[in-house]
Amino acid sequence: MTNRTEQETIINWNEAEPIISIYTASPKTKRKCLKLGFRLIKTDRLANSHEECSWWFEVPKRCVSFRREARVLSDDARAALRARMRKINRKSAEIIDDSEQELDIEGVQPETVASSAEITLGVCLPHTPSLLLIG
């Protein structure tokens, strides 16, 4: 077994190839790669031993992305965002309530609805079903 400073991971990502090569000597990273379904292409073993010491993987570029760290918000900032979203949700609910009051579909014949693409059911906001008219 290698020591912790030798348990490195090297990612080879170049523009010429559609795949990424990953070399790792870290058992933890190896388990993650296997769990994600990355293709194991080579295993290295320690000299005079059957113990695996490093692994080579290939993965399509489309399977790897860069992400920002999650924002850490203070309690005050979180409360301000919560209040802002409540205000936005209230305005959206008022708009939907107004449009539902103006909409009267009781006179529409079922066969007309089935034969045309003018009426579509959808959801605009969570827990706010709406009827969208297209046309």
Half-sphere exposure of 61 (CA within 13 A, CB side): 8
Contact 39, 30 (CB under 8 A): no
One-letter identity of residue 39: R
pTM above 0.75, yes or no: no
Residue 23: predicted pLDDT: 93
Tens-binned pLDDT, residue by residue, of the chain (135 aa): 567 877 899 999 899 999 999 999 999 999 988 898 889 999 888 888 788 889 999 988 888 887 888 888 899 999 999 999 988 888 777 766 655 555 555 554 444 444 444 444 443 444 433 333 343
As a whole number of angstroms, the distance between CA 113 and CA 131 comes to 13
